[in-house]
Structure 1
Amino acid sequence: MSLSSRAVLVVMCFLFLSCTPLFTSATTTTVQGLQPRCESHIFNNGKHYRSCKDLPVLDSFLHFSYARETGVLDVAYRHANLESSSWIAWAINPTKKGMLGAQALVAYRNSTSGVMRAYTSNINSYATMLQESPLSFRVTQVSAEYLDGEMTIFATMVLPPNTTVVNHLWQDGPLKEGDRLGMHAMSGDHLKSIYGSTLHEDLRNIRSHMVLRTRRLSAHRILGRSSRRPWNSDLHGIAYRDEKHSAYRDRDFNILFRVLANTCAQSKTGVYNIYKGFVILQPGSGWKIAYTAIICAIGAFAIVMEILQFKKRWGSLFVKKSEDLQEANQSAFKKEILKFMNRWGDKTPEDLEANQYASTEVV
């Protein structure tokens, strides 16, 4: 195995091991995203919602139907594993992230009558007691229910038309004597219940994009592809192999190139969708920097592979041309020698020179 082949194999192993945790994490997230627990829920009032999300903390779920053109948002917020002596709230902050300025839906169960109460509250202070107050946008059909340890708020909101992303937060706390809302916990998941969410299907399309792309890879390989397109790095990569009699050719190179190619080759639109997801979800800048670094490393590796492939495919052609030219020169020289031998036989150059002088003297 040549030194260059060993270097290529080492680089491939490094990139594959680097991408494996990300791919595993992304696959796990995709499977969980495609099969959320909220989709199997059936509401007692017969309501149906086009979309739902499993919220990351506090055993909460959000169901919603949104008409982008009119801004009408029909929403149901569910909080599971909750005692009846508790209150819940779900809010949209139309101006920024955080608690201040949030427009909340609040619900609790009356300790005396057992009847659910649901109302709206405009949060304008950290010391708020979630008093009932109107919101900055129109809200109708506010109601709530409590069943089997699960409390749900229903409402219909009218947001500004063409709203696509909202910052929302949710919370729960104890209900004190006299149905006064107590302070929620100030630690753990209670400080993480804030989220930036899309109101349309783009996020779901991004999550399902990876699974659909995985299915396309098989069809892509079966239906064939054009080797003239340089971005088909899976084809060029598989074409670059070690010597014919190398023990590594049919085993290591075949496996590594196929896995790496199937993971990275079909990323033209996938990269765009990932960056779009960064804009929507707004994670820390470190994630975006790390992803960019990995993409750059894979791109540099692809460029190196293209150079090696070009050298392997076309370099021999240039060498062959020079060899053919050298062979042609040698063939022409041999022809001249044969002509000389046929004309003069076994005479040496000295004999020819002597004959030339002799011919001159006779004349």
Structure 2
Amino acid sequence: MGKILNLLFCILLSNFIISYAQNCSSYSFTNNAIYATCVSLPVQNSHLYWTYHPTNGTVDIAYRHAGVPASQWVAWALNVDGRGMIGAQALVALPSSNGSLQAYTSSVTGYGTTLQQSSLSFGVPVIRAENSNGDVVIYATLVLPGGRTSFNQVWQSGPVSNGAPSAHAMASENRNSLGTVDFVSGVTGAGGAVGGSLLHRRNTHGVLNAVSWGILMPMGAMVARYLKVFKVAHPAWFYIHVACQATAYGVGVAGWGTGLKLGSDSEGIEYTSHRNIGITLFALGTLQVVFALLLRPKPDHKYRIYWNIYHASVGYAVIALGITNVFKGLDILDPEKKWKHAYIGVLISLGVIAAILEAFTWFIVLTRKKEEKQQVPPGNGAYASNGYGHGHNQEA
């Protein structure tokens, strides 16, 4: 039995080694180049090869992105003074209309970059690129700055629009395409999510809007619809409703502000439907607040019924748009699945509570109407229309 287990272990180990070798060290370059070190990068099916020359402080590198579509640009970069995208000194391979690859350098100074050709903060005397059986390979010689050998690195790929690189996707692989590399020790490491403070602001924007439009607004609407049926909750339900919606709107304003800041800091990156829904949502929410403060008729006003219809219709529209946009935001941020599952769990919980309260409040209203009808003396039918249920609803 022990021999069989040892044999199986050896087979698994050999398969792992063979698989790794096929990904990295056993790859044959078209120019028969051989590099002293190679590493398989953690995401995007990418690999880095290099030979370091200590005598003159240069390094010959080959960056290989396997299985990339022929219509996409590919880039690998060192960030000398920081991490992530801003400040990256990039080697770019851009496909031409005739199928060839143009290799050039680009210094990234902002999130809205289109990777325009420019010189780097260190020398690159040699750079070229090729597409070999679906693998894009960038070859270069780098003159490492300041005698350093350890740097942060970034790698990406994205679509081409009108002959120029356009914004890459923001999936988890793209956000995690960075790490460290030491050209002497051969050690590389993962570096977390790309974007640093930008990603933090995206997460803040998402949390603020999920809590405000996606959770507090529905809760406030449930308070207005169900608590007012109970006599003991009058008029407390109204103030709870106002407090809930005012808090939701205030948090939503903060989320709106972070969204505007993200838009200005992410020039060239647009999520059209998410943005348009957000604009509509904020406009309707503001309209609700302004009209509630300035134009809400008294409960006995003849136009109050029209106000109630408007207020409920716009309120439910805000809730529907808010929940929709939260899911669109989750798709953009692409966080761990547990966060999306958690939000779905919150919605299901609110839905179950709403269903139970809907049935219970209808039972109370129908029972109350039946009792009031029995208590009305003959000939006083008009009095029944002014019962507690009707007048109480006018307070909404």
Rg: which structure is higher?
Answer: 1
Please report the TM-score for the alignment, with normalisation by the length of structure 1: 0.46
Please report the TM-score for the alignment, with normalisation by the length of structure 2: 0.42
Question: Which structure ranks higher in relative contact order (CA pairs < 8 Å, sequence separation ≥ 6)?
Answer: 1
